[in-house]
Amino acid sequence: MNDDLVMIGEIVKPHGIRGEVKVFPYSGRPENFKHYERIVLLPARTESGADIYKVIKSRVQGKLAILKLEGVNSREVSEALKGSTVWLKKDDFQKLEPDEYYWHQLENFQVITDSGRVLGKVTGIFTTPAHDIMVVTGQGHEYMIPVKADIISNIDEQEGIITISPPVGLLDINK
């Protein structure tokens, strides 16, 4: 895909007979789909390229988002979309408050400790029931750093550097 898109989920199955689809959101926040006017789908089972769909309606069902997409009006059509990855143009994300970030904005940032130790770069972020976890890879190690205000002491967007204050033992359990 291109650099203007971010993968945000996957269509897991059709819903009902009128063409709705169930989407598993990678963020763990199905309510976010209520803010998206259009999405890009990359089908899993075809050789065709990505298609843009207007989101007509969105609602939450448990951990999934149920979407009604323009032009998808039958179960057969929604069944064909099963397995498609869901992408969003970066410009279509909601604006955030100062000191809030989307995961994709932090990827490849350098991570250092407040004592100056370079840990590596952010290679991924995932969510857990307790909090998000930042995966930092470098120096032959992979560190799992909780994304919490008491651990992340500074994010320098200009330099692409995240400074952390790890609690005693955090970096040792990640070796």
Q: Enter the tokens of residue 100.
A: 């809030």
Range of the domain at 112: 103-173
Q: What is the band of 128 on the pLDDT scale with cuts at 50, 70, 90?
A: confident
For residues 107 and 88, membership in a common domain is answered with no
Decide if pLDDT at 175 tops 70.
Answer: no
Nearest Cα to Cα of residue 34 among 64, 9, 53, 58 = 58
pLDDT at res. 129: 83
Query: Which range scores top for mean pLDDT: 39-43, 53-57, 91-95, 99-103?
Result: 53-57
Tell me, what CATH number does 86's domain have? 2.40.30.60
For residues 118 and 70, membership in a common domain is answered with no
pLDDT at res. 45: 66
For residues 84 and 151, membership in a common domain is answered with no
Total domain count for the chain? 2
For residues 63 and 108, membership in a common domain is answered with no
Q: Answer yes or no: is 97 within a domain.
A: no
* Partners of 121 in beta bridges: 110, 137
User: Which position has the higher pLDDT, 174 or 87?
Assistant: 87
> Last residue of a domain, which of 73, 92, 111?
92
> Last residue of a domain, which of 39, 58, 92?
92
For residues 82 and 141, membership in a common domain is answered with no
Q: Answer yes or no: is 49 within a domain.
A: yes
pLDDT at res. 105: 80
